[in-house]
Every structure is written in C-alpha cells, then in structure tokens.
C-alpha cells in the first residue's frame, strides 16, 4: 500500500473488532507496528493472530483504559516490548448504553465516562512523554456525529462524544509545544456488525436514503482517515474535526 507509518509504534484501543480492528489493519499495512488494546483478552486474541497471519507486526494488550495505573503500566510495557517509544495513538475504545434520561443510572454513566472520556485522559497522558522523546507524534480520537446531532436515547453518549471533541481541542493546544498533533474523527453510521444489529431492515433503508452518499460507511473508510491524520501528510492539521458520515448531517431535515 504505502509506508506512511513505517516503523512507527501505533497504539490502537478497542482494536478487537469493528472500526478499531480496521484501523489496526490499515496502520499495519502502512508499516506501523501495532499495539492492539482491548478490555477482553479472549476477544483480542483471534484478531491479533489474524493480523500476524497477514504478515503485520501486532501485539495484544488486554487493558481497561478506564484504569489509569493499568494504562500507564501498559504504555511502559509497549515501549519496552517494541524497544521504541509510541509514535501514534488512536483512541477508539468506548463502552456505551443508549438509555432515556429517566432511566439513566450512575453505574452506566460512570462506566461510559470512565472508558470514553477518562480513558482518553490516561492514554494521552501516558503516550505524550513517549511521543515527546521521539520528537513528536500524532493522536487520533474517535468521536461521533452524535457529538453534534444526537440520536435517540443518547443523552450520555452525546455528552461523551461532545466531550471527546472538547478534550481533543484542549489537548491539541497543550501538546503543540511537544510537536504532538491531536485531531478527531466523527463517523456517522458505519456498517459494523454491532451497529447493523441495532436496526431492522426498514430502518436501515430509511437511514441510508437520508444520506447524500446513500449508504452506511465501511470501517475501512474510517481507518483511511485515521491513517491520514496519523501520518505526516496531516502535518498542519491540529485540533481539527473530520466528519465522515456520507453527508448525513449536512442537510437540515
């Protein structure tokens, strides 16, 4: 393909499936050395084996990104095992439930924000010194069009994803002097098995008809954006938001 990420140690969270796995594979094909992170060791093992079988260098790290000490320990391990500091970080892991406001409970809210917002604090906090030591790096965060255009029952999810945009921009300011770029991707409806399973066929057809491109996106179409942002091609992009929703949120309706 190309070698835009050649020899770069790339940490991808939520890498066991869906968009995260597509990102890991794309980064690997562009020459990246992959630290694939997921909360579940059992879930992580087959895809890491799959990446290795494709000739890509990948190691699995079963870590809950919501736990600060575990995240810091993992980044130290990654640097030791790859014998190089981390150069790229993709924050893709999320844990989400969609509930009406009236039914939202503290356990759900805490878990969602521990993984989807605080998790990003800890990974960025641990990655930044390593990136600084190698002369810079790139962080790509995954938000959602829900940050701007809430879906049904998404009080917590919309807040979470709006938070990701805010923390991305603040981190971009703070980490600029260390030559670390931080940008954010907002996918729309992406056709992963988990997202497709939420809808019946009629709903899927209605949704697709609402989109100028007329279809759900593929995980690979988010991975190609993440690879661009992680690479030096995006060297003047800082605190930027890339929406990838097939034009879904462009028209007013």
Partner 1 sequence: MRRLEGKRAVVTGGGSGIGRASAIRFAREGAAVLVAGRAANTNETVEVIRADGGIASSMITDASKEENVAAIVERCVNELGGLEVFFANIGVTGTNTPLLEQTVEEWEEVYRINTISCFLAIKYAGRHMTAKRYGSIILTSSAASLRANAGAISYSASKAAVNNLAQTAANAFAGTGVRVNAVLPGLVETQLTRKVFEDARARGIEGKLGHVTPLKRPGRAEEIAAAAAFLARDDSSYVDGQLLSVDGGVSSTHPYGRIALPS
Per CB under 8 A, contacts with partner 1 among 186-225 are 187-188, 211-214, 217-218, 221-222, 224-225
State whether residue 75 is helix, strand or coil: helix
Give me the least distance between CB of 121 and partner 1, in Å please: 19
d(CA 137, CA 85): 10
Residue selected from 53, 177, 193, 202 as contacting partner 1 according to rule CB under 8 A: 177
Stretch that binds partner 1, among 49-57, 78-86, 145-153, 243-251 (CB under 8 A): 243-251
d(CA 201, CA 248): 18
Beta-carbon contacts of residue 137 (< 8 Å; ≥ 6 apart): 86, 87, 88, 89, 127, 128, 130, 131, 179, 180, 181
Stretch that binds partner 1, among 8-16, 76-84, 88-96, 229-237 (CB under 8 A): 229-237
Give me the least distance between CB of 171 and partner 1, in Å please: 10
d(CA 12, CA 60): 10
Does the protein bind partner 1 through residue 147 (CB under 8 A)?
no
Which residue bears the tokens 């799959």?
A: 50
Does the protein bind partner 1 through residue 244 (CB under 8 A)?
yes
237, 181 contact by CB (below 8 A): yes
Active site residue 157: yes
d(CA 25, CA 72): 24
Binding interface with partner 1 (CB under 8 A): 2, 169, 172-173, 176-177, 181, 187-188, 211-214, 217-218, 221-222, 224-225, 227-228, 233-247, 250-251
């Amino acid at each position: 393909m190309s070698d835009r990420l050649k020899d770069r140690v790339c940490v991808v969270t939520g890498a066991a499936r869906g968009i995260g796995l597509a990102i890991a594979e794309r980064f690997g094909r562009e020459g990246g050395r992959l630290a694939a992170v997921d909360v579940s060791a059992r879930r992580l093992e087959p895809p890491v084996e799959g990446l290795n079988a494709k000739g890509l260098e990948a190691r699995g790290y079963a870590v809950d990104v919501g736990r600060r000490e575990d995240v810091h320990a993992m980044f130290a391990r990654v640097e030791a095992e790859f014998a190089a500091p981390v150069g790229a970080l993709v924050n893709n892991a999320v844990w989400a439930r969609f509930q009406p406001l009236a039914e939202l409970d503290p356990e759900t809210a805490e878990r969602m924000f521990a993984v989807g917002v605080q998790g990003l604090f800890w990974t960025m906090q641990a990655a930044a010194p390593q990136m600084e030591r190698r002369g810079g790096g790139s962080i790509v965060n995954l938000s959602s069009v829900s940050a701007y255009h809430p879906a049904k029952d998404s009080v917590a999810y919309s807040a979470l994803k709006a938070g990701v945009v805010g923390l991305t921009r603040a981190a971009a300011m703070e980490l600029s002097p260390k030559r670390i770029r931080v940008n954010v991707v907002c996918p729309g409806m992406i056709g992963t098995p988990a997202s497709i399973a939420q809808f019946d066929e009629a709903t899927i057809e209605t949704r697709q008809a609402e989109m100028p491109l007329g279809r759900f996106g593929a995980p690979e179409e988010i991975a190609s954006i993440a690879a661009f942002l992680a690479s030096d091609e995006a060297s003047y992009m800082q605190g930027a938001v890339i929406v990838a929703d097939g034009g879904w949120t462009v028209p007013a309706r």
